């Protein structure tokens, strides 16, 4: 490690990336290699040396939460004024600023529900598709637009139809939807990007103003950009090459929604004299987890070879693969394994159970409730949108107006008790326990606040957290789909359902679709820091299954293969099997 100031603590490769202040720069950053740290330090270094003016920097990422984290890290480095936003937020801000000047009117409203608008459009042309079909058509509209296809080009690319609708009916519904939006003077999310790009292309003064405002661009998660986002990025950058992209082709898991990793893989061909820096030192995971991840992705396009820091020799258990008779036995076995981890001193927040689809969670939720283990399922309401949390924040703000003689932490505790919070947690499972965990998280934030914090300062910090989607960690085990787990990490990960038909999922038939499923499995594996447990069920008595091809690709030389048949509900089962079948 070397460097000084904002570059302190970076390794040699990270330092190379952070010092490359002039583009084009491509940082190929594997899982756990510190990419967010590198790109925020790079921006801070540019500002510190005078190479960048903060107001001229745009940092683009894919979620509001990731953008909020980037802003928070930059603030901690003493950098204010950088525009860290999602593609949509940046495009909408530009539309709101320039549209009145160009069109002499306000920006059209955003459609609040694409599915509801599609239902109205279907009524208008005498169609009555099911709700599921409407949801699928909405997804297809999004794909059509982000891949920059007309309705006619869509028909050529997707000739099979959707649900009960043949492709001609789908095209008619898409046209009716566009007509309805125009009549209502509305745009959908994809239109925001299309309209912003169209405005920059059609109005030279807008293009000049945008390129004058923003001189230096950073794009995180670049493997997930769509053709439309790349087109807009090209318009933003113009003829300059001050562009830094960061990504990992092995974590491309949104191809179905239009993401195209070729923009990352072919960056050197697109940009002459591009500098490419490879970050392959993984600071997150123990060597056994890295062995598993590398074995799964070996030979895939753009795959990085992850390795631990030099000299690190953690004593870590091998990745286990346990076979269970059926889904219930698998759920009970995983719950028993997690219970043993918690009994040994592991905090619930350090454990995650990951799966391919939410449909797999039902047996798991029941098994964990039976075992008395509290869980949080990602994908539900955001923490600060939970009714009990909103109620608590409002009560705390009211209390801050007329403070009592209590100290700050005592006041927080009194307010939460007045709303029904108790010292004793209710039984795991159900709404009561979920509400208790949410209020307990607010208490922990109060306990962690610096000395001298006031109640008003605390509530202001809560509001700032809500704005940046900086949610506190609940003292619960996390349940999440592999898509929802992307970008997160836990000490201990249990990846369930590693069987054919679940991972890869049954409808993944083409080579490209199966490859995307492999990348999903890779994302799940690389979330684990200290231990990784894989499991699957044979489906005995119902539909017989076989172990996932991904487990076979990783191989028994890497995996500790176990049989959970002997002790239904045991954490690992007795005996060892060298057959994954």
Which residues define the annotated binding site for ATP?
29-36
19's enclosing H/E stretch is helix 12-19
Q: Where are the alpha helices (DSSP H) in 299-354?
A: 327-343
Distance CA 517, CA 508 (A): 8
Q: Of 366, 376, 414, which is closest to residue 490 (Cα–Cα)?
A: 376
Distance CA 555, CA 87 (A): 40
Helices and strands, number each (H, E), in the chain? 23, 15
Distance CA 435, CA 439 (A): 6
Q: What DSSP assignment string belongs to 566-578?
A: SSTT-SS-SSB-S
Whose structure tokens read 């939720």? 365
364's enclosing H/E stretch is helix 361-370
**Cα-to-chain-centroid distance, residue 224:** 11
Distance CA 373, CA 157 (A): 47
Reading the block at residue 242, the tokens are 């001050």
Q: Sign of the CA dihedral 132, 135, 141, 143?
A: negative
As a dihedral over the C-alpha atoms of residue 381, residue 382, residue 387, residue 391, rounded to 10 degrees, the angle is 180
Please check whether residue 311 is in contact with residue 281, taking contact to mean a CB–CB distance below 8 angstroms: no
Please check whether residue 43 is in contact with residue 30, taking contact to mean a CB–CB distance below 8 angstroms: no
Q: Of 462, 463, 472, 536, which is closest to residue 499 (Cα–Cα)?
A: 536
User: Annotated binding residues, as ranges?
Assistant: 29-36
Q: Of 529, 563, 62, 511, which is closest to residue 284 (Cα–Cα)?
A: 529
Q: Which residues of 112-133 are buried (b: 16+ CB within 10 A; e: fewer)?
A: eebeebbbebbeeeebebeeeb
Whose structure tokens read 């003829």? 239
């Amino acid at each position: 490690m070397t460097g000084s100031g904002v570059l302190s603590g970076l390794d040699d490769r990270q330092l190379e990336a952070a010092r490359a202040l002039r583009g084009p720069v491509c940082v190929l950053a594997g899982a756990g290699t510190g990419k967010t740290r590198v790109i925020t330090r790079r921006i801070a270094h540019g500002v510190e040396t005078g190479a960048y003016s903060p107001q001229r920097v745009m940092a683009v990422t894919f979620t509001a939460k990731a953008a909020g984290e980037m802003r928070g890290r930059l603030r901690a480095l003493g950098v204010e004024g950088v525009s860290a936003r999602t593609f949509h937020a940046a495009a909408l801000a530009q539309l709101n600023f320039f549209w009145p000047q160009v069109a002499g009117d306000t920006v059209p409203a955003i459609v609040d529900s694409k599915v509801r608008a599609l239902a109205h459009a279907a009524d208008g042309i005498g169609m009555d598709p099911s709700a599921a079909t409407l949801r699928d058509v909405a997804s297809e509209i999004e794909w059509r637009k982000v891949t920059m296809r007309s309705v006619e080009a869509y028909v050529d690319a997707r000739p099979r139809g959707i649900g009960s609708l043949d492709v001609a009916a789908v095209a008619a519904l898409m046209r009716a939807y566009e007509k309805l939006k125009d009549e209502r003077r509305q745009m959908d999310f994809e239109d925001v990007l299309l309209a912003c790009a169209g405005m920059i292309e059609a109005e030279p003064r807008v293009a000049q103003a945008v390129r004058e405002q923003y001189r230096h661009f950073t794009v995180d998660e670049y493997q997930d950009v769509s053709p439309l986002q790349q087109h807009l990025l090209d318009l933003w950058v113009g003829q300059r090459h001050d562009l830094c992209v960061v990504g990992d082709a092995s974590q491309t898991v949104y191809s179905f929604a239009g993401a195209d990793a070729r923009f990352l893989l072919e960056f050197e061909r697109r940009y002459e004299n591009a500098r490419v820096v490879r970050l392959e030192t993984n600071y997150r995971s123990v060597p056994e987890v890295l062995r598993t991840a590398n074995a799964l992705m070996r030979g895939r396009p753009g795959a990085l070879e992850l390795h631990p820091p030099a000299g690190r020799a953690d004593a870590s258990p091998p990745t286990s693969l346990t076979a269970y008779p059926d889904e219930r036995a698998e759920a009970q076995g995983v719950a028993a394994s997690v219970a043993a981890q918690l009994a040994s001193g592991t905090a619930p927040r350090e454990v995650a159970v990951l799966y391919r689809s939410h449909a797999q969670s039902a047996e798991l939720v029941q098994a964990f409730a039976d075992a008395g283990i509290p869980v949080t399922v990602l994908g539900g309401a955001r923490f600060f949108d939970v009714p009990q949390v909103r109620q608590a924040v409002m009560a705390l703000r009211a209390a801050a107006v007329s403070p009592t003689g209590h100290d700050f932490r005592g006041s927080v505790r009194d307010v939460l008790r007045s709303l029904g919070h108790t010292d004793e947690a209710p039984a795991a499972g159900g709404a009561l326990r979920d509400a208790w965990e949410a209020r307990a998280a607010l208490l922990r934030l109060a306990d962690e606040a610096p000395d001298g914090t006031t109640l008003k300062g605390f509530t202001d910090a809560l509001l700032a957290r809500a704005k940046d989607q900086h949610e506190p960690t609940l003292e619960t085990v996390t349940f999440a789909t592999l898509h929802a787990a992307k970008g997160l990490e836990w000490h201990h990960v249990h990846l369930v359902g590693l069987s054919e038909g679940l991972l890869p999922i049954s409808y993944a038939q083409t080579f490209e679709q199966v490859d995307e499923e492999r990348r999903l499995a890779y994302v799940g594996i690389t979330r684990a820091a200290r231990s990784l447990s894989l499991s699957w069920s044979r489906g005995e008595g119902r539909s017989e299954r076989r172990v996932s091809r991904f487990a076979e690709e990783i191989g028994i030389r890497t995996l500790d293969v176990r049989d959970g048949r002997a002790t239904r509900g045991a954490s690992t089962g007795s005996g060892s099997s060298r057959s994954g079948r």
